Structure 1
Amino acid sequence: MVFHHFGSYILLLRKVFKKPEKWKIYLKEIFHEMNEIGIGSLSLVLIISTFIGAVMTLQIAFQLVSDLIPTTVIGQINRDSNILELGPTISGLVLMGKVGSAISSQIGSMRVTEQIDALEIMGINAPGFLILPKIIAGVIMVPVLVIIAIFCAITGGLIGGSLSGAVAPSDYIQGIQEGFNGFTVTVAIVKAIIYGFIITSVPAYKGFYVRGGALEVGQAGTKAVVIGCIAILVCDYIITALML
């Protein structure tokens, strides 16, 4: 069953990446999906990443209770952990739950109401028209959201550490600036691009091949989120192992 679904997924992607009939129509859909995925998820990413950064600062300060370790290390650890792992992966999992379920439900509803069949009868490449704009928008907007999430997490760490007294603002800022490796940002962007592809393509596949009625559409959305989250975590390990 695993190989059957993987093969169907690959075959669907072949149809998705066929040359579009009219780029003008596709561009309109791409900008619409960029607004839905990016702007629509911005507030959620801001809130979650800010509090994650604040909590991480408190937990790091709780663990580093030693006079031999300078408090500037708290800023360094919070910065690197958010850039490499928490920013991309937590944002990816959250977006899979929000964006992925919406994509699966939208395409699944079109399938059970025979709208996709109508598109195919009219000679339109339904996979390309419905899924390609979502994938392109996801690959563009998810990295943008991840960069915002990293910035908010580091800022949240500064606010959380200052309010709790766990670390002085000057020490935290000094820790952020010390020993910064720009390659960590490259790793985060690569993860975000892969996650953006998974967040849009996996739910689209589950929704495109759903059969039945409203109950099956809901079940497909649940399966899409579960499978997508597992795929994100697997890719997280693979990318980390290859690039670090």
Structure 2
Amino acid sequence: MPTQSPRRRSPLDGPRRPSINVILTSVVVVLALVVFGAILLFGGDDDNGTTAAAPSETLVPEDAHTLSEADPDGPQVTLVEFLDYQCSACAAYYRNITSKIEKDYAGRITFVPRNFPLDIHPLAPLAARAAEAAGKQDKFAEMYTKLYQNWTDWAVQGESLRSDPKEAARQFERYAREIGLDVAQFRADIEAADVSKKVQRDMADGEKLGVEATPTFFINGKRFEPSGETFADVERQLRAELDKALG
């Protein structure tokens, strides 16, 4: 069942899952293992995964970016994902589930990605700032897509996570040029205080909601916790919940 990257290096309470070193090694060595064989589970046995709806302002602040906007005349269904761009599980979910959800439910749901860079991923905070910096030029969705579609180029090298911020910054500037950004502005914005504060705000909101791992999803304020053991299972369950909410 789907793994999520844990928030900190120290083990979480209880026998939740194998050590992060084992998980990272297995998913990075052969990406196909992530796609077809990784066991993914949203939230594990986290006591914070309740059925009560989370406060809307904590889930979706006014300045949140969206990958899809619901038709204002239709059902108002919001899917929120707390993610980490260097997280192998998040990248696998993008390839197998969320990129398809984004396309198939465009105009029907509001899809909101929120930043939750993990301590164990050295380039995750920089990647989050890159996406937010692109957002200041109205290109958040394009940078979000670039970061995931090129994940193996900037996030990993062989069996290891990349950790050189200067090299990553060069890659991100290349993506900025490719999506038509003013690169000088992008370079300044990625280091800007307001961009860092927005990433920190997302993390604080996630912690208030009990997020400890990525990816973590909420549908109309309620945490989505599937029981599927494959990406296909999880995708079916996610679509079923979205369709139910859409009526």
TM-score (structure 1 length as normaliser): 0.29
Higher strand share: 2
Higher helix share: 1
TM-score (structure 2 length as normaliser): 0.29
Larger radius of gyration: 1
